[in-house]
């Protein structure tokens, strides 16, 4: 089941928050691993999004394109 409540902007805001960055400083096409996003922070995002009622799997995010745009596409795919 897709997670349509996760907009591109909300994914960007959440990722920026766990990285301690301003959202404007995080490009939607930048490799999140290059920005320092590690597995602990990914798990933090997964738990945040699950708590908001979204179906998110850690392993699927790890395998998806590691960009905000890539994650958003994966999370909202039908």
pLDDT of residue 5: 78
Burial 30-54 (b: 16+ CB within 10 A, else e): eebeebebeeebbeebbeebeeeeb
Q: What is the pLDDT of residues 52-77, one digit of tens each?
A: 999 999 999 999 999 999 999 999 98
How do the domains of the chain map onto residue ranges? 8-76
**What angle in degrees, to the nearest 10, is found between the helix axes of 68-76 and 8-19?**
130
* Range 8-76: architecture per CATH: Orthogonal Bundle (1.10)
- Determine the pLDDT at residue 4: 55
CA 77 → CA 20, 71, 73, distances in Å?
Answer: 28, 10, 6
Whether the pLDDT of residue 78 is over 90: the answer is: no
What's the pLDDT score for residue 77? Answer: 87
Q: Does pLDDT of 2 surpass 70? A: no
């Amino acid at each position: 089941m897709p997670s349509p409540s996760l907009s591109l902007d909300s994914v960007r805001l959440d990722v920026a928050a766990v990285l301690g960055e301003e959202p404007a400083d995080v490009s939607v096409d930048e490799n999140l691993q290059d920005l320092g996003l590690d597995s602990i922070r990914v798990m933090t995002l997964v738990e945040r999004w699950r708590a908001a009622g979204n179906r998110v799997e850690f392993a699927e995010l790890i395998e998806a394109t590691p960009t905000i745009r890539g994650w958003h596409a994966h999370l909202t795919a039908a």
